[in-house]
Amino acid sequence: MKIGLSRGGFTLIEIMIVVSVISCLAAISIPNFVKARSISQKTVCINNLRQINSAMQQWALEAKKGPSSTVSATDVLPYLKGSVQCPAGGTSFGDSYQLTTVANEPTCLKAAPAHTL
């Protein structure tokens, strides 16, 4: 009577097929995740620009300033809730957004011209 050893396990070919399927799925999904992240960052930045523009207009009305009046971050920050910065790499308000006059819309410094009102 011959007693055979039965080995339960995966062959090298089976393991290679599983690894190749996983790498194909990763190759398909990673670019989509990167694209979705950049789209969401752009959306958040545009919403921040809208809030900043509204804060500029509110400041101008309360301070009785005209369209050619210069706006600074210290004028606008009291009208904003919390810290406002560009999610595409900004670390502060001054690092993320540029303000000029009441008539001009604020601009993003991190991803211009992609992040505009």
DSSP track, 12-60: HHHHHHHHHHHHHHHHHHHHHHHHHHHHHHHHHHHHHHHHHHHHHHHHH
Q: Which residues contact 113 (CB under 8 A, 6 or more apart)?
A: none
Q: Can you tell me which residue has the tokens 């009785």?
A: 64
Q: Which residues contact 100 (CB under 8 A, 6 or more apart)?
A: 70, 71
% residues pLDDT > 90 (the chain): 74
Instruction: Band the pLDDT of 111: cuts 50, 70, 90.
Output: confident
Instruction: Band the pLDDT of 4: cuts 50, 70, 90.
Output: low
**Is-contact 108 49, C-beta < 8 A?**
yes
Instruction: Band the pLDDT of 99: cuts 50, 70, 90.
Output: very high
pLDDT at 10 over 90: no
